[in-house]
């Protein structure tokens, strides 16, 4: 096993993988972890959204309190690889349809990504939040 180089880890994170997002728990609870879609370009920030379908997710308050998250992505088949990145949250706010589409289109067919973007941003009662997080510390492994 070896660590990934900077360019390898950034390219790996930029691939359309479902991340596990973790944030510090509250009231002595363990960290809250959940799968999430995200977008990332090498050298840039990570963006992801949460609280869809008119539900305010518990993680929104946890992220606001912690100001930091950890994302983990992996290749589950041999040769195994993973990247875990600790990030500082640098911006939050309501996303535009283009923001949602940019993330969702990495994972969904175009019509489904467009539909998700339109549905989530057109609803005046929507609780969707876009987070921008800056990578600060990486932990990686490559078993190839």
Span 65-93, mean pLDDT? 97
Q: Is the pLDDT of residue 51 over 80?
A: no
Mean pLDDT of the chain: 93
CA separation for the pair 92, 86 (Å, rounded): 17
| pLDDT band, very low/low/confident/very high, at 53 (cuts 50, 70, 90) | low
pLDDT score of 9: 98
pLDDT score of 126: 79
Residue pair 72/83 in contact by the 8 Å Cβ criterion: yes
Q: Would you tell me the crossing angle of helices 110-122 and 97-104 to the nearest 10 degrees?
A: 150
By percentage, how much of the chain surpasses pLDDT 90? 83
Question: Best-predicted range by mean pLDDT among 28-32, 55-59, 126-130?
Answer: 28-32
Span 2-28, mean pLDDT? 96
pLDDT score of 27: 87
Report the CATH superfamily, name and number, of domain 6-142. Answer: Electron Transport, Fmn-binding Protein; Chain A (2.30.110.10)
| Domain edges within the chain | 6-142
CA separation for the pair 117, 102 (Å, rounded): 9
H or E element, residue 113: helix 110-122
Paired residues of 19 in beta bridges: 36
pTM for this entry: 0.92
Q: Is the pLDDT of residue 135 over 80?
A: yes
Closest to 37 in 3D by CA, of 128, 119, 100, 109? 100
Residue pair 88/45 in contact by the 8 Å Cβ criterion: no
């Amino acid at each position: 096993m070896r660590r990934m180089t900077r360019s390898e880890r950034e390219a790996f994170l930029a691939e359309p993988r479902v991340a596990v997002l973790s944030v510090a728990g509250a009231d002595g609870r363990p960290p809250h972890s959940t799968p999430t879609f995200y977008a990332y370009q090498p050298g840039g920030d990570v963006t992801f959204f949460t609280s869809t379908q008119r539900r305010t997710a518990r993680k929104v308050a946890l992220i606001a309190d912690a100001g930091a998250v950890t994302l983990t992505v992996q290749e589950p088949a041999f040769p195994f690889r993973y990247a875990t990145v600790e990030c500082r949250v640098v911006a939050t706010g309501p996303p535009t349809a283009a923001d949602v589409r940019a993330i969702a289109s990495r994972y969904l067919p175009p019509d489904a990504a467009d539909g998700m973007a339109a549905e989530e941003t057109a609803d005046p009662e929507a609780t969707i939040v876009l987070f921008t997080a800056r990578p600060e510390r990486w932990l990686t492994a490559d078993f190839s």
